Amino acid sequence: MQAFEFHNPTRIVFGEGRIRDLDRLVPPGAKVLILVGGASAERTGTLSEVRQALGSRVHATFSGIEPNPTFETLMKAVEQVRAGGFDFLLAVGGGSVVDGTKFVAAAVPFEGDPWQILVQRGQGVKAALPFAAVLTLPATGSEMNSGSVVSRKSTGEKLFFGSPLVFPRFSVLDPAKTLTLPPRQVANGIVDAFVHVMEQYMTYPAGGHVQDRFAEGILSTLMELGPRALSEPGNLEVRASLMWAATLALNGLLGAGVPWDGATHMVGHELTALHGIDHARTLAVVLPSLLDVRFEAKRAKLAQFATRVLNIQEGSEAERARGAIEGIRAFFEALDVPTHLSAYQLGAEVIPAVLTQLEAHGMTALGERRDQTLEMSRAILQGAL
């Protein structure tokens, strides 16, 4: 196992009806800006529950944070916070709203051009407004970590920043809030969480015995319950475990002390930035092909996954590893999440621009051993057509 430091101070408040706990958890005198995405938080009644729980606290709402939140939109929220003197932010929505709120929290007190927060990957963040989240869409894990991804419309860029100052103070996870999600979003969330775990697990055997078991536990849960969330859309027990699984998939625990391969996200981000494909759907396109191209590097862990998660006990290590890739592809497809670019009417003609963007963003040595060249990324995209 590698040396590591693990610290996650976010408080999780989990269960049906827990939005009412906001009254206990938000500081009594806070002046609150609520940040939301589209109209669904209003339509489903979640926003009025939130406002009611805030009681006599001064609050206002900033609406319109997009999926893949943009710098341009978030800077409008920053202006509203500064002009209105808000001192507590409350994200109500999914990962995009939470990610966007993290950026706003860091940008409000930031001296200089806030885009530099992203260019510097968060290094320059010296302060952030306190904020919390009411999660309505389990997927990204943003509700219990200190990372955020923001896109810039004007340039087509999509960049990450992280800072220990942008852990949510608390996050309310009410699984009943996920029952009204469209099936496409449910499936996207399951795939996103699955790939988060994969990126911390599907590397090489590194002596992280507990980390491996925990990762396999979440992967098993997602593969067992994911299809049931779609076939039994009213099953709250299923939704509750999926929600908690998605949070634990990226709260720092699985990755502590083991290698990490973020290549699937890096390539996927460019596909979203250039072609507007849903974040999770880009991951489902990239991962199976990446596992084919990087087969030798990942063979031992693929075989371990096959044995422990897919219960493939027969065959050589290579055969079981092949079975693992087939099983992953089949899992995504069963959730109605395509694993080929052709499903988005995209062909080989898109590859050069993706590679150009990867190069521009310094993504020329990806993977847990920093040995995934641009040529390998080309092969991955070729295999994903």
Member of 104, 106, 139, 248 binding its own copies (CB under 8 A) = 248
Told to check if 314 binds its own copies by CB under 8 A, we report no
Token pair of 174 as six digits: 């009410």
Q: Which tokens belong to 381?
A: 């995209």
Q: Least separation, in Å, of the C-beta of 216 and its own copies? A: 7
Does 244 help bind its own copies (rule: CB under 8 A)?
yes
Residue selected from 156, 162, 217, 227 as contacting its own copies according to rule CB under 8 A? 217
Query: Which residue in 6, 55, 60, 336 binds its own copies (CB under 8 A)?
Result: 6
Instruction: Calculate the CA dihedral of residues 309, 379, 160, 272 and round it to 10 degrees.
Output: -90
Among 95, 168, 208, 268, binds its own copies (CB under 8 A): 208
Only one of the segments 44-52, 71-79, 91-99, 213-221 lies at the binding site for its own copies (rule: CB under 8 A); that segment is: 213-221
Residue 218 in the binding site for its own copies (CB under 8 A): yes
| Cβ proximity to its own copies, 244 vs 344, nearer residue | 244
Q: With CB under 8 A as the contact rule, which of the stretches 34-42, 49-57, 252-260, 344-352 interacts with its own copies?
A: 252-260
With contacts defined by CB under 8 A, name the span among 3-11, 29-37, 64-72, 260-268 that binds its own copies: 3-11
In the three-class reduction of DSSP (H, G, I as helix; E, B as strand; rest coil), residue 159 is classed as strand
Q: Which residue from 128, 256, 354, 355 is in contact with its own copies, where contact means CB under 8 A?
A: 256
Q: Establish if 2 lies at the interface with its own copies (CB under 8 A).
A: yes
Q: Does 15 bind its own copies (CB under 8 A)?
A: yes
* Interatomic CA distance for residues 313 and 358, integer angstroms: 39
- Give 16 or 336: the residue with its C-beta nearer to its own copies: 16
Quick one: which H or E segment has residue 316?
A: none
Report whether 169 contacts 128 (CB < 8 A). Answer: no
- CA dist 97 and 120 (Å) reads 21
The residue within the footprint of its own copies, chosen from 39, 119, 127, 210 (CB under 8 A), is 210
- Are residues 173 and 247 in contact, defined by beta-carbon separation less than 8 angstroms? yes
Cα 85 to chain centroid distance, Å, stands at 30
What would the DSSP string read from start to end of 154-221?
Answer: TTTEEEEEE-GGGS-SEEEE-GGGGTTS-HHHHHHHHHHHHHHHHHHHSS---S-HHHHHHHHHHHHH
Supply the DSSP string of 28-65, one letter for each residue.
TT--EEEEE-SSHHHHTSHHHHHHHHHTTS-EEEE--P
Residue count, binding to its own copies (CB under 8 A): 41
- What is the contact surface with its own copies in residues (CB under 8 A)? 1-16, 18, 170, 175, 207-210, 213-214, 216-218, 220-221, 224-225, 237, 240-241, 244-245, 248, 253, 256-257
